[in-house]
C-alpha cells in the first residue's frame, strides 16, 4: 500500500511528463511542423503550370498559383509534403509501439523506455534549429519530424500505462476498496489469481459497494487523465505565447518556425527531468535475470503476442474492448486529421499569416484547458458515464468539418458571394478554434480514461500499445487520403467531407460498447497462446 506522500510523488511525476511532452503536440505537431514542412517545400518549390517560377518569388510580393516541389522524380503539392511526412511518421510509430509493448509492461523497463523515447524525440525537435530550408539536404526535415513523432508516441504509451494504477491507488478509490473488503459477505467467490479484481459476493451491501467502487475508479481515471491534459495544454499555451514574439518580429520567416519547433524540443527535454526523478523505476526485487530476459526476445515475443491478441478467439473474449478500438480507429483519425488539415487549410486557402495561425494555436489549447476541466464537472453533476460524455463530444466535434463543407454552397461563390460562413474567412477560424479546442481537450482525456476501464489488469502497456497502434493506423490513412484529395482536386476543402464521414461512422460502433460487460471480461481475461 502506497503512502500518501509516495502516491503524490508518482502522480506529480506522471503529470510532469504531461507538462513536458504535450508542448511538442500543441506547439509543433499540430501547428508549427505542418507549417514549417510546407514552408520548407515552398522555399524549394515552383508554381504550376510552368514549374519555372519559384513559389517564394520576390520577397514581399505575393505569388498566386498552386505550388509544387520535386521529391525524387515526383512533383507533389507543398501541402501534401507535410501530410505525407506525417503519414510516414505514424507508420513508423506504429511499428515501434508494437515492438515495445511487452517491454513497457515490465515495470523495471517502463520508465527506461519512456525516458529513452522522450529524449530521442526532444533531440530530433531541437535539431530543427540547425537545419535551414536553403540547405541542399532540406528534405531531412521530414526525417527529423518522423523521429520526433515516433519518440513522442512511444513515450506516451509508456506514460499511459501508469494511468490505471494511479487511478486504483487514488485515496478515494482505496477508501471504497477498504470498505468493500471489510463488508460482510461470502468471500469464497474472490478469484485469488486476479488480485486486482475487487471481492464480489451476493450480498446487497457488497453489490452496492462493488458498483460504487467501479464508479469511483471510473471518475478517478477520467479526473487524472483530464488533469494531465489540462496541465499539458497550459504548458503549450505558455510556449506558444513565447513563440509568438519571434514570429511577429521576424514576420513569419522559416527561421521563426524552426525556432518554435526547436524550443518545444528543449522544453520537452528539460521538464522530463521531474518525471525521471519521481516516476517509479527498477528495484532489486523485480529486476529480471539476464538469463531469462532480453530486449530481442521481448521484441520478437511482442509481435507474436500481437498476432495472438488479434486472433478471433481472443477478440471474442474482449469483444467490447475491440469494439471500442474499432470506434477509436475512426475517431482518432478524424480528430487528429481535423487539426492538421485546418492549419494547412488556413495557410493555403485562407492565406492566413503564421502569426494568425499561432493565435489560433493559443486559442485551441486555451479552450482545451477549460473543456478538460469543465466536462468532468458536468459528468459529476449529471451522473453521466464516460461513454455518454465521449459520445456527446464526438457529435459536437463533427460540426467543425460539416461547417467547412458549407463553403461549397453557391452562396459563398461568385462576385457577390457572402464573405462570412462556411469557413470562407479567416475570422471564422478563430471562432472554430475556441469551439473545437473545448471539445478536443475533453475528448483526449475521456477517450484515454474510458479505454482504461476495459483493460486486463497487469497488461496496461501492451493494450495501450494496441490503443496507440489503432490510433496511428488510422492517422496514417487520414493524412494520406487528405493529401491525395489535395493533389487530385487542388482544393483541400474537399477533405472535410471525408472527415465528416470518419467521425459519424464511429458513433454507432461506440454506442454498441457494453461497459459493464467489458469491465468484467477484462478482469476475467487470461491470454492463451
pLDDT of residue 202: 53
pLDDT of residue 460: 72
Maximum average pLDDT range among 72-76, 435-439, 466-470, 478-482: 435-439
SS3 label, residue 201: coil
pLDDT of residue 73: 84
pLDDT of residue 120: 97
Segment among 199-203, 236-240, 490-494 with least mean pLDDT: 199-203
pLDDT of residue 132: 92
Maximum average pLDDT range among 12-16, 236-240, 370-374: 12-16
SS3 label, residue 46: strand
200: pLDDT strictly greater than 50: no
CB 16 within 8 A of CB 228: no
For residue 513, which phi and psi values (nearest 5 degrees)? Answer: -75, 125
92: which 3 cell numbers?
A: 513508423
pLDDT of residue 240: 82
419: which 3 cell numbers?
A: 464573405
Dist CA 430 CA 428 (whole Å): 5
DSSP 198: P
Is residue 448 within a helix (H) or strand (E), and if so which, with residue range? helix 426-452
> What's the average model confidence in pLDDT over 472-489?
74
104: which 3 cell numbers?
A: 513497457
Q: Which residues contact 233 (CB under 8 A, 6 or more apart)?
A: 22, 26, 365, 366, 368, 369, 372, 441
Segment among 369-383, 475-489, 498-512 with least mean pLDDT: 475-489
Dist CA 144 CA 265 (whole Å): 11
pLDDT of residue 472: 61
Maximum average pLDDT range among 318-327, 368-377, 459-468, 518-527: 318-327
pLDDT over 70, % of the chain: 86
pLDDT of residue 106: 67
Going by pLDDT thresholds of 50, 70 and 90, the confidence category of residue 64 is: low
pLDDT of residue 60: 43
199: pLDDT strictly greater than 60: no
> pLDDT for 115-149, tens place per residue?
999 999 999 999 999 999 889 999 999 999 999 99
Query: What are the angstrom distances between the C-alpha of 385 and each of 108, 216, 329, 354, 513?
Result: 34, 11, 21, 40, 12
6: pLDDT strictly greater than 50: yes
CB 437 within 8 A of CB 367: yes
Average pLDDT of the chain, as a whole number: 82
pLDDT of residue 476: 64
Going by pLDDT thresholds of 50, 70 and 90, the confidence category of residue 410 is: low
pLDDT over 90, % of the chain: 20
> What's the average model confidence in pLDDT over 422-440?
87
SS3 content of the chain, % helix, strand, coil (to 5): 75, 0, 25
> pLDDT for 255-303, tens place per residue?
998 999 999 999 999 999 999 999 887 553 344 445 555 667 777 777 7
> What's the average model confidence in pLDDT over 440-462?
83
Report CA dihedral (230, 231, 235, 240) to the nearest 10 degrees: 0
> pLDDT for 143-172, tens place per residue?
999 999 999 988 988 898 888 889 889 888
> pLDDT for 66-103, tens place per residue?
788 888 888 888 878 887 888 788 788 878 887 776 67
For the domain made up of 4-56+67-182+196-281+293-524, the CATH class stated in words is mainly alpha
CB 286 within 8 A of CB 107: yes
Going by pLDDT thresholds of 50, 70 and 90, the confidence category of residue 105 is: low
> pLDDT for 293-342, tens place per residue?
566 777 777 777 777 777 788 888 899 999 999 898 888 878 878 877 88
Nearest Cα neighbor of 98 from 152, 157, 174 is: 157
Segment among 189-193, 245-249, 347-351, 515-519 with least mean pLDDT: 189-193
For residues 468 and 38, the model is more confident at 38
DSSP 289: P
Dist CA 88 CA 81 (whole Å): 11
pLDDT of residue 319: 92
Dist CA 274 CA 112 (whole Å): 14
SS3 label, residue 458: coil
> What's the average model confidence in pLDDT over 224-252?
85
DSSP 280: -
Going by pLDDT thresholds of 50, 70 and 90, the confidence category of residue 104 is: low
SS3 label, residue 472: helix
403: pLDDT strictly greater than 80: yes
Neighbours of 236 (CB within 10 A): 29
Amino acid at each position: 500500500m502506497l503512502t500518501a506522500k509516495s502516491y503524490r510523488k508518482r502522480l506529480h511525476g506522471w503529470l510532469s511528463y504531461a507538462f513536458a511532452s504535450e508542448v511538442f503536440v500543441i506547439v509543433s505537431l499540430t501547428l508549427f511542423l505542418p507549417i514549417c514542412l510546407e514552408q520548407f517545400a515552398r522555399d524549394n518549390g515552383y508554381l504550376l503550370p510552368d514549374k519555372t517560377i519559384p513559389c517564394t518569388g520576390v520577397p514581399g510580393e505575393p505569388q498566386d498559383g498552386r505550388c509544387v516541389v520535386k521529391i525524387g522524380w515526383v512533383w507533389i503539392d507543398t501541402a501534401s509534403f507535410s501530410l505525407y511526412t506525417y503519414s510516414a511518421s505514424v507508420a513508423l510509430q506504429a511499428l515501434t509501439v508494437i515492438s515495445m509493448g511487452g517491454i513497457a509492461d515490465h515495470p523495471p523497463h517502463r520508465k527506461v523506455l519512456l525516458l529513452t523515447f522522450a529524449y530521442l524525440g526532444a533531440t530530433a525537435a531541437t535539431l530543427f534549429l540547425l537545419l535551414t530550408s536553403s540547405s541542399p539536404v532540406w528534405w531531412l526535415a521530414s526525417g527529423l519530424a518522423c523521429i520526433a513523432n515516433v519518440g513522442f508516441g512511444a513515450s506516451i504509451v509508456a506514460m499511459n500505462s501508469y494511468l490505471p494504477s494511479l487511478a486504483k491507488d487514488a485515496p478515494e478509490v482505496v477508501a471504497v476498496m477498504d470498505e468493500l473488503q471489510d463488508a460482510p459477505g461470502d468471500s469464497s467467490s474472490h478469484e485469488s489469481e486476479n488480485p486486482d479484481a475487487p471481492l464480489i459476493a451476493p450480498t446487497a451491501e457488497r453489490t452496492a459497494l462493488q458498483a460504487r467502487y467501479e464508479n469511483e475508479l471510473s471518475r478517478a481515471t477520467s479526473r487524472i487523465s483530464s488533469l494531465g491534459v489540462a496541465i499539458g495544454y497550459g504548458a503549450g499555451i505558455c510556449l506558444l505565447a513565447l513563440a509568438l514574439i519571434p514570429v511577429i518580429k521576424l514576420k513569419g520567416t522559416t527561421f521563426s518556425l524552426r525556432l518554435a519547433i526547436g524550443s518545444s524540443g528543449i522544453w520537452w527535454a528539460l521538464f522530463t527531468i521531474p518525471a525521471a526523478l519521481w516516476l517509479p523505476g527498477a528495484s532489486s526485487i523485480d529486476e529480471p535475470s539476464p538469463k531469462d530476459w532480453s530486449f530481442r526476445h521481448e521484441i520478437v515475443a511482442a509481435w507474436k503476442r500481437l498476432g495472438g491478441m488479434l486472433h478471433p478467439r481472443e477478440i471474442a473474449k474482449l469483444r467490447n474492448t475491440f469494439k471500442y478500438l474499432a470506434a477509436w480507429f475512426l475517431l482518432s483519425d478524424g480528430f487528429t486529421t481535423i487539426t492538421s488539415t485546418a492549419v494547412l487549410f488556413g495557410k493555403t486557402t485562407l492565406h492566413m499569416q503564421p502569426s494568425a495561425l499561432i493565435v489560433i494555436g493559443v486559442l485551441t489549447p486555451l479552450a482545451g484547458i477549460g473543456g478538460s476541466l469543465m466536462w468532468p464537472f458536468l459528468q459529476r453533476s449529471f451522473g453521466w458515464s464516460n461513454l455518454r460524455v465521449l459520445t456527446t463530444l464526438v457529435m459536437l466535434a463533427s460540426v467543425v468539418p460539416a461547417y467547412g463543407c458549407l463553403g461549397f454552397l453557391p452562396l459563398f461563390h461568385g462576385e457577390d458571394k457572402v464573405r462570412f460562413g462556411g469557413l470562407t474567412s479567416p475570422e471564422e477560424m478563430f471562432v472554430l478554434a475556441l469551439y473545437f479546442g473545448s471539445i478536443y481537450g475533453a475528448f483526449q482525456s475521456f477517450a484515454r480514461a474510458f479505454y482504461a476501464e476495459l483493460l486486463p489488469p497487469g497488461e496496461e502497456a501492451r493494450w495501450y500499445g494496441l490503443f496507440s497502434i489503432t490510433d496511428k493506423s488510422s492517422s496514417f490513412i487520414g493524412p494520406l487520403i487528405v493529401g491525395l484529395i489535395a493533389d487530385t482536386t487542388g482544393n483541400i476543402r474537399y477533405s472535410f467531407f471525408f472527415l465528416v464521414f470518419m467521425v459519424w461512422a464511429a458513433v454507432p460502433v461506440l454506442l454498441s460498447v457494453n461497459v459493464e460487460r467489458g469491465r468484467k471480461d477484462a478482469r476475467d481475461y487470461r491470454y492463451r497462446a
